[in-house]
């Protein structure tokens, strides 16, 4: 179970809809890392990811009265941040950071010290680079499925695409990664 | 099912996202195709590597930023956060501020004339005897082997003083008269200290109405160096006015009382037969008793010499002074001060 699932209790949703600031703060505290993580892996820049994650929570706050609770709060937030990132990526004027794997590495492995194996570090760097180089539509599906653990149905609902599209994008994304990571795989 | 069709479903097969019919078909193909099995293993490893990636963490303060955007804090909460910063933030800030204040304080203090005077090395204007005792701890009288007139001593001071001290003196004494400019800086310091201590009028002195020239003691205690010099000049004028010349003698006490209230000082009239000889004897006496001549001027047929005498040697000084001629004193010294100022009018 993801950490946010426990927060979907009906009374919590009621407090959120009623504009309870403490309830919303609890929501942000619970989901901040996952929302930020999706944004970071999608955008590649920590500063841009923080901006996008903040914007995602602001949008969530504005949309709370319309949230009917049919999806999990976490899925709903993933949907918001994913679409936000895709929109940003689609905009031509963004400061594109397609090669932000160094930043990703720093954030992903903050405790990476001398005990971190060089081989593992190299493999993770290659993996981050491979993720960053994925096509945006495939990348978001891979992130939501393999890094965030959403089901196919949740991904389809979050991105507003067909289940078959999720399946094919995920498969192609994984195959791309496999091709780029081949030398690290057994 | 072909290899290509099978491979398109391998991801979904790994995620158990195929329906029963598709799953059977894929598994049947995999059982007889080693290439597709190898492909499946590669895919499984890739997914395993992906799942082991660590999750990034939002930056510190992210929640506060979001909440601050949505619920702007009222001014008193912002003020509270400002005042009650965590120690990890506040301590380095405060330490840095203290260092900056300390550096600024030292810099400013060193730039003030008083501090320059205090830092100036003691150079004698009129050198006392080598065995003369120290007079005042804050501004000890310097010791030098041979006595010399004040003007000569001041000239030596000008040569011997550090450039900064000379510059300061040049800058600060533009408006002063030549005899004032010759007064040694350390003596000015001592005089200032003395005048601060002696701000209160002597208890034995009768109360007189204040003249316009007289000032209240309290502001004088806070006088700066310049106002201290003004006082010095005023005191010397007092000494001139107080000097017991025969025609003016009857009027002197009342004037003196008013002036003394503002600046306590002892004045004396020394009537001698040979004035030049008396001046030489006085110079010798000054050097012998560890006193200091701070000014000298002519007033008609009289010579007025301003002297600062250490309190400890004041009685001896007066006794010796009395032996030079007929001495008449006016005023009482402040026994709490380290130095006694004395204006001696020598006339024949």
Give per-10-residue mean pLDDT for chain B (348 aa). Answer: 89 91 93 92 91 89 90 76 72 89 88 66 48 46 43 42 43 41 44 44 43 42 46 50 42 40 68 88 86 86 88 86 87 81 88
Q: Which residues of B touch A117 (CB under 8 A)?
A: none
Residue A20 pLDDT > 70: yes
- What are B184-204's pLDDT values in tens digits? 444 444 444 444 444 444 444
Task: Check residue B54 and report its DSSP letter.
Answer: P
SS3 assignment for B140-205: CCCCCCCCCCHHHHHHHHHHHCCHHHHHHHHHHCCCCCHHHHCCCHHHHHHHHHHHHHCCCCCCCC
pLDDT at A5: 52
Q: Give the domain CATH number at A139.
A: 1.10.1740.10
pLDDT at A1: 39
Beta-carbon pairs below 8 A across chains A and B: 108
Q: Which residues of A touch B49 (CB under 8 A)?
A: 123, 127, 181, 184-185
Of A61, A108, A145, the CB nearest to B53: A108
More confident: A101 or B337? B337
Minimal C-alpha gap between A27 and chain B (Å): 10
Residue A169 pLDDT > 90: yes
Output the CA torsion A77→A81→A83→A84 (10° steps). 140
Query: In sequence order, what are the residues at sequence separation of 6 or more whose Cβ sits closer than 8 angstroms to the Cβ of residue B94?
Result: none
More confident: B214 or A6? A6
What is the domain extent for residue A145? Answer: 5-184
Chain A residue nearest residue B12, CA to CA: A167
Provide the ipTM.
0.82
pLDDT at A91: 82
Q: Which residues of A touch B43 (CB under 8 A)?
A: 174-175, 178
pLDDT at B150: 43
* Count of beta carbons in the 10 Å neighbourhood of residue B319: 11
Provide the mean pLDDT of chain A. Answer: 83
C-alpha span between A143 and B282 (Å, rounded): 104
Count: domains in chain A: 1
| Distance, C-alpha B252 to centroid of its chain | 41
- What are A70-95's pLDDT values in tens digits? 888 999 999 999 999 999 998 865 55
Separation of first and last alpha carbons in chain A: 30
């Amino acid at each position: 179970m993801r950490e946010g699932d426990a927060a979907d209790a009906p009374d919590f949703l009621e407090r959120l809809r009623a504009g309870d600031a403490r309830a919303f703060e609890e929501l942000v505290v619970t989901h901040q890392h996952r929302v930020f993580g999706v944004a970071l892996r999608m955008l590649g820049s920590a500063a841009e990811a923080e901006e996008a994650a903040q914007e995602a929570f602001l949008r969530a706050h504005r949309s709370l009265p319309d949230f009917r609770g049919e999806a999990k709060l976490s899925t709903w937030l993933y949907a918001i941040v994913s679409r936000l990132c895709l929109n940003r990526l689609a905009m031509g004027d963004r400061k594109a950071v397609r090669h932000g794997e160094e930043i990703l590495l720093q954030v992903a492995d903050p405790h990476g010290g001398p005990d971190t194996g060089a081989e593992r570090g190299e493999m993770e760097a290659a993996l981050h680079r491979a993720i960053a180089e994925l096509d945006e539509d495939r990348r978001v599906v891979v992130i939501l499925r393999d890094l965030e653990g959403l089901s196919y149905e949740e991904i389809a609902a979050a991105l507003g695409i067909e289940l078959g599209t999720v399946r094919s994008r995920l498969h192609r994304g994984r195959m791309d990664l496999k091709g780029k990571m081949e030398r690290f795989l057994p | 099912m072909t290899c290509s069709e099978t491979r398109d479903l391998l991801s979904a097969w790994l995620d158990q996202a195929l329906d029963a019919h598709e799953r059977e078909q894929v598994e049947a193909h995999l059982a007889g195709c080693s290439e597709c099995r190898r492909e499946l293993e590669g895919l499984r490893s890739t997914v395993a590597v992906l799942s082991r990636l660590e999750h990034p963490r939002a930056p510190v303060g992210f929640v506060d930023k979001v909440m601050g955007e949505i619920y702007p804090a009222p001014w008193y909460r912002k003020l509270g956060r400002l005042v009650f910063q965590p120690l990890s933030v506040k301590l380095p800030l405060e330490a840095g501020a203290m260092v900056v204040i300390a550096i600024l304080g030292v810099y400013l203090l060193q730039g003030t004339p008083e501090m320059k005077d205090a830092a100036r090395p003691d150079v004698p204007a009129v050198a006392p005897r080598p065995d003369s005792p120290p007079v005042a701890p804050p501004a000890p009288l310097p010791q030098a082997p041979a006595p010399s007139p004040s003007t000569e001593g001041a000239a030596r001071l000008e040569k011997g003083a550090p450039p900064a001290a000379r510059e300061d003196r040049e800058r600060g004494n533009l408006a002063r008269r030549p005899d004032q400019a010759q007064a040694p800086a350390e003596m000015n310091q001592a005089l200032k200290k003395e005048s601060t201590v002696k701000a209160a009028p002597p208890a034995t002195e009768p109360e007189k109405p204040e003249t316009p020239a007289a000032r209240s003691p309290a502001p004088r205690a806070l006088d700066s160096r310049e106002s201290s010099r003004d006082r010095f000049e005023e005191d010397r004028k007092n000494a001139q006015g107080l000097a017991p010349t025969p025609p003016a003698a009857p009027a002197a006490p009342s004037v003196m009382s008013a002036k003394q209230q503002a600046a306590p000082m002892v004045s004396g009239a020394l009537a001698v037969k040979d004035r030049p000889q008396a001046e030489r004897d006085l110079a010798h006496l000054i050097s012998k008793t560890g006193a200091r001549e701070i000014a000298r001027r002519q007033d008609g047929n009289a010579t007025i010499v301003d002297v600062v005498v250490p309190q400890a040697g004041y009685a001896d000084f007066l006794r010796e002074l009395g032996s030079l001629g007929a001495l008449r004193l006016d005023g009482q010294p402040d026994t709490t001060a380290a130095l006694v100022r004395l204006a001696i009018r020598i006339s024949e």
